[in-house]
Amino acid sequence: MSAAAPGLARRRPAARRAPRGRFRTVWKEARRDPVKVVIFLLLLAVSAGMLYPFLFMILNSLRSENQYLSGTGFSTVSWGQLFANLPVGRELLNSTLVCVASIAIILALSSAAGYAFAKLRFRRQGLLFFAVIGSMMVPLQSIIIPVYVNFAHLHLINTYLGAILVYAGFGTPFATFLMTTFFRGLPDELTEAAACDGLGHAGSFFRVALPMAKPALATVAVLQFIQIWDDLLVGLLFLQEPTNRTITVGLGVLSSGRVVSVPVLMAGSLVSALPAVLVYLFFQRYLVAGLTLGVNR
């Protein structure tokens, strides 16, 4: 249908010059096909349903405990309480540190391994590929107890390194799958030619393949950022000290610990959600690409 009657959004260039004309077009379209009006209204209702919880969070973070209970009035007192109860700055810093380090490891390992699996030929390649990619099947809960005990022996509990290794190890299989898929799409002639021209295979990887892989690397980074930033379980077990907690864990502990008022929790939720939402807003299409990649698996 969209081919027969081009979507209204596509007429934007003309509309930008004359906003009135745009609304007239919308109106004309609506008269010609009233079902579109119904669809528009339905989508409006769905969006309201998706947005309501966030609106609830934002509005109630701007209330005191009593204002929340009565549902009237606004104040910023809860934000003050949040900063008094939760070392927000420190926790945001911890989250950032853990995310950046884990993602750096994942990007380095998965792009190298992906290139090797897609473009090089070596003994036991099939076995290695199966080991790395097949590990995608292992759920976090199945390995978390042995990993916890192993890391306790290695004195890695309550260290950033411990949490980073778990996040990186858990993220690497899917990232490698994604990178292998991407590199397989690059023409062999390109990487072979570079290798024969004296760059060698390492040079061909670093100087030719990697610069072309930026979109795939971005997809991996965005997917992993959201996953690691939003994680509770690993943080709860591997970063237990108030000084090295991530923001998500801090919030989880705050909610289950001492009784804190709802508006304070809502303010904390808002702070913890904001960075991931901003990443989402700016890099939405990388996220979409990563999500739909597995369809043809």
Partner 1 sequence: MRGAGGAEGREAQLTSDAPMVLTAPGPGALQAAALPAERSVRRRARGGLGRHRARAGILLSVPALVLVLFVLIVPIGEAIYYSMTNWNGISAQWVGPSTYTSLFKDPVFWRVLENNGILLVSVPVALAIPLGIAALLHEHVWLWKLFRSLIFLPTAVSWVVIGMIAVRLFAPSGIVNYLLGLFGLARLQTDFLGHEYTAILAVALTFVWSMIGTNTIIFLTGMSTTDPAIYEAARLDGAGRWASFTQITVPMLKRYFQFTFVITMITAFTALFSLIFIMTGGGPGYGTTTLEFFVYQQAFDVGQFGTGAMLGVVLFVLLFGVSLVQLKLLREQQ
Q: Is 85:264 a contact under the CB 8 Å cutoff?
A: yes
Taking CB under 8 A as the criterion, the residue among 17, 19, 137, 258 binding partner 1 is 137
> Does 260 participate in binding partner 1 (rule CB under 8 A)?
no
67, 92, 129, 158: which one contacts partner 1 (CB under 8 A)? 129
- Rule CB under 8 A: is residue 202 a binding residue for partner 1? yes
At a CB cut-off of 8 Å and minimum separation 6, what does 55 contact?
none
- Selected range binding partner 1 among 38-46, 72-80, 85-93, 96-104, rule: CB under 8 A: 38-46
Q: Which of 80, 89, 200, 242 contacts partner 1 by CB under 8 A?
A: 200
165 to 194: interface string for partner 1, x by CB under 8 A: xx-xxx-xx--x-x-xxx-xxx---x---x
Query: Site map for partner 1, 85-114, x if CB under 8 A?
Result: --------------------x--xxx-xx-
Binding-site size, partner 1 (CB under 8 A): 135
Which 17-36 residues touch partner 1, going by CB under 8 A? 26, 29, 35-36
3-state secondary structure of 246: coil
* DSSP state, residue 208: I
> Can residue 161 be called a binding residue for partner 1 (CB under 8 A)?
no
Q: Is 162 near partner 1 (CB under 8 A)?
A: no
Q: Contact with partner 1 (CB under 8 A): which of 14, 18, 44, 84?
A: 44
Residue 46 makes contact with partner 1 by CB under 8 A? yes
- Cα distances from 264 to residues 107, 222, 240, 267, 275, in angstroms, run 36, 29, 22, 5, 18
Own/partner long-range contacts of 30-38 (Cβ < 8 Å, ≥24 apart)? 32/5, 33/5
Among the listed residues 128, 158, 160, 161, the single contact to partner 1 using CB under 8 A: 128
CA dihedral 147, 150, 151, 152 (to 10 degrees): 120
Contact predicate 166/238, CB 8 Å: yes
List 14, 18, 34, 39, residue binding partner 1 (CB under 8 A): 39
Note whether 272 binds partner 1 by CB under 8 A.
yes
140-145, Cβ contacts within 8 angstroms, sequence gap of 24 or more: 140/170, 140/233, 140/234, 141/233, 144/233, 144/234, 144/237
Please state at what angle helix 262-293 crosses helix 247-256, rounded to 10 degrees.
Answer: 140
* Smallest distance from partner 1 to CB 258, Å: 15
Task: Candidates 103, 229, 238, 261: give the one binding partner 1 (CB under 8 A).
Answer: 229
**Minimum distance from residue 144 beta carbon to partner 1 (Å):** 7
Task: Tell me the torsion sign for CA atoms 83, 85, 89, 91.
Answer: negative
From the centroid of its chain, how far is CA 138? 20
- The distance of closest approach from Cβ of residue 113 to partner 1 in the complex, given in angstroms and rounded to an integer, is 4
Q: Does 251 bind partner 1 (CB under 8 A)?
A: yes
Name the residue nearer to partner 1 (CB basis): 162 or 244: 162
Q: How far is the CB of 100 from partner 1 (least distance, A)?
A: 17
Instruction: Report the C-alpha gap between 156 and 151 in whole angstroms.
Output: 5
51 binds partner 1 (CB under 8 A): yes
